[in-house]
Amino acid sequence: MESNGHYFEQEPSSVQREGSVQLSLPDFSATFTTASNVFSWRKLDSGTKFLLLNVPSPETMPRNALDLGCGYGPIAAVLEHRFPNTKIWGIDVNERAIELARNNTRRSETVICRPDEVPADVTFDLILSNPPIRIGKGELKKLLAMWLGRLHNSGSAYFVINKNLGADSIQKWLESESWMTNRLKSLKGYRLLEVKHHV
């Protein structure tokens, strides 16, 4: 994150500096074009990689999958690869990130857009996110509540959050909001949380 701007700004005012990031997973490799004032633009965030390495495969093919807070699009790109028959959505408030993610994803039917551009009737069978913790806990809770509200009854959401940035309190809050929440794995302070509707 740059000192003269934040990755969650809608229109970063800083001069744009370009970069690239390499992602290498057992099933997928790519180089992404990045830019300043977009989250983790110099190096893939270790939480994002932890999420992509450890998120379980759904039992059935998702109809719609969401990359919540897509940044320059690494999660959306992996979703495209893993679920070729799924419609992939990536949302962000940062216009610079949206442009980059559109260029870093490959399928014409993938939708990268602002949150308010997602049609109200779209629900998601799968949500993946390394959520923007630094927007503040109150705003983060509103964000998670909004998009979990779009989770299909049989769907699953997976969030990676660092313990030092409030992962355990977020898990307790989700449980208090009647979400079935499981910590699937922990590594170097990161928690991988699975969130589902109670059956």
Give me the mean pLDDT over the 11-16 stretch.
Answer: 61
CA distance 147 to 98: 18
Note the pLDDT tens digit of each residue in 29-58.
999 999 988 988 789 999 999 999 999 999
| Residue 13: predicted pLDDT | 54
CB of 129 closer than 8 Å to CB of 69: yes
Containing H/E element for 81?
helix 74-82
| Burial degree of 162 (CB within 10 A; 0-12, 13-18, 19+) | middle
| Residue 15: predicted pLDDT | 63
pLDDT band at 79 (very low <50, low <70, confident <90, very high): very high
CA distance 199 to 196: 9
Q: Which fold has domain 44-197?
A: Rossmann fold (3.40.50)
CA distance 151 to 171: 17
Question: Domain boundaries in the chain?
Answer: 44-197
Nearest CA to 191 out of 168, 172, 157 is that of 168
Structure tokens at 152: 């299909």
